[in-house]
Amino acid sequence: MEAGVAPDYFLDSMQMYEVKAVLENLQYKNKTSWEQARMISYIIAQTNSTKQLSPTDIMKFDWDEAKEKDTSISKDDIARLRAKANQFINTKN
């Protein structure tokens, strides 16, 4: 229920890849509230400090770090996926 998904759908109908996606991204549900809290804390800290601060000096979150994934596909991956697709097509015929 916390993720905004109906409990009966989550427990009975949802596929595992959907469950994984929901659980991995659950932390972003309250991102706006956490950003507001950080900005309020930053403003209070900056007005009482002589040093120049940044919001990430006050609180750091997982989404602050840019994570780039390698999305390149090797020729071996292409061949493996092509064979798997052909196998799937052959089983459906």
Reported as a single tens digit per residue, the pLDDT across 31-89 is 899 999 999 999 999 999 999 999 999 999 888 887 677 778 899 999 999 999 999 98
Q: Are 1 and 18 in contact (CB under 8 A)?
A: no
Q: Are 3 and 29 in contact (CB under 8 A)?
A: yes
Amino acid found at 12: D
Q: Are 10 and 19 in contact (CB under 8 A)?
A: yes
Q: What token pair was written down for 52? A: 């120049």
Q: What token pair was written down for 70? A: 């390698």
| pLDDT in the model for residue 16 | 85
- In angstroms, the CA 37 to CA 78 distance is 46
Provide the whole-model pTM: 0.54
Residue count of the chain:
93
Question: Per-residue pLDDT for 1 more than 70?
Answer: no
Instruction: Compute the average pLDDT of residues 17-30.
Output: 84
